[in-house]
Amino acid sequence: MSRRALTLLVAGFLTLALAVGGAMLPVPYVVLSPGPTENTIGDVKGKPVITVTGHETYPTTGMLSMVTVAYQGGPGNRIGLLTALRGWLDDTIAVVPEETIFPREQTVEEVEEENTAEMATSQETSTAAALRELKIAYQNVVEVASTDKGSPAEGKLLPGDIITSVDGTPATGMEAVAAAVRKHTPGDDVTFGVDRKGAKQDVTVKTVKGPDGQAIVGVRMGMSYKFPFAVNISVGDVGGPSAGLMFSLGIYDKLTPGPLTGGKAIAGTGTMDGEGNVGAIGGIEQKMVGAKKAGATIFLTPSANCPAAAAAVPAGLRLVKVDTLNGAIKAIDAIRTGSGSVPACTS
């Protein structure tokens, strides 16, 4: 072999090796793709997604499916450049910077824990919204989420404590509790009525001056609920709050006679608060693809997500705009009966 041919061969081999090696290099991106789709009025692995105990339920049919987004990559498990390039060429996949999913100030474990907590909260607020829509009474509960390190409340008010009163006045909500504390002069004592794992007691905490000069004790609160019967939601290893709307619809459907969908295949997404308001979510493009693959023909879309959804909707999938649980139910009723207006989700 001539020297020139040998040089070209070696150069070609090195170029190929560099190309292969470069394609395998880890990059700080995450691939988002359509994840599992589960029917909230159906079963997962033989177990109902929604189980109601202590209240009459009714048989139903059709689909009210929650949709998810799967991810690949992240700190400690980065994807290769070739995987990212494939994703950029696939319209059903999104490739986003790593910090979009995993903020630099959080570990992977912290992000996953946050997603799990958001799912648990979503199940609570979804149940509250459904019962509110059905005019079934329940209690709003102010719960201690955490206390600030070094604050007067640390060690006195414990995570999970239910605050029932402040200075003898019933606690009707987080803002009412905060306002009752702010009425004090910094340095005053404030007495919390607390339900701690079923044991009622008074806890006295000294206030201090907050950043705005008003009295604080350093407690962080959250809302929880006491329902008149048990609602259990089981979807496996899924996190985040975006299934809230579909949970509420599934609960509503099980607690009312006749199938809400009329047997139709409906999917959707959106967060849900205890008042029945639907909020925006991420990954709408991937969720629509997952819904279409699962056989859905109608997709309930938070109004804030409508522009992005309308620009990428798969053929054969009808987008319905929703802002509230009540509005979603009315839209489904109109679709089922063929009468009434159905809000369209447009760009």
φ, ψ of residue 314 to 5 degrees: the values are -65, 150
φ, ψ of residue 76 to 5 degrees: the values are 85, -10
Q: Which residues contact 343 (CB under 8 A, 6 or more apart)?
A: 320, 321, 322, 327, 331
Q: Which residues contact 325 (CB under 8 A, 6 or more apart)?
A: 129, 130, 133, 245, 248, 249, 252, 272, 276, 277, 278
Say which of 122, 126, 248, 287 is annotated catalytic.
287
Closest of 228, 265, 68, 198 to residue 134, by C-alpha: 228
Say which of 122, 242, 248, 303 is annotated catalytic.
242
Closest of 140, 142, 165, 122 to residue 225, by C-alpha: 140
Q: Quick check: is 242 catalytic?
A: yes
Q: Distance of CA 255 to CAs 38, 51, 130, 134, 311, Å?
A: 19, 11, 9, 9, 36
Whose tokens are 């995570």? That residue is: 159
The alpha carbon torsion through 22, 75, 94, 317 (nearest 10 deg) reads: 140
Ranges assigned E (strand) in 74-197:
79-80, 94-97, 139-147, 162-166, 169-170, 189-196
Residue type (1 letter), 215: A
CB-CB contact of 272 with 122 (8 Å): yes
Q: Would you give the distance in Å from CA 188 to the centre of its chain?
A: 39
CB-CB contact of 194 with 157 (8 Å): yes
Whose tokens are 């149940």? That residue is: 127
Catalogue the active-site residues.
242, 287
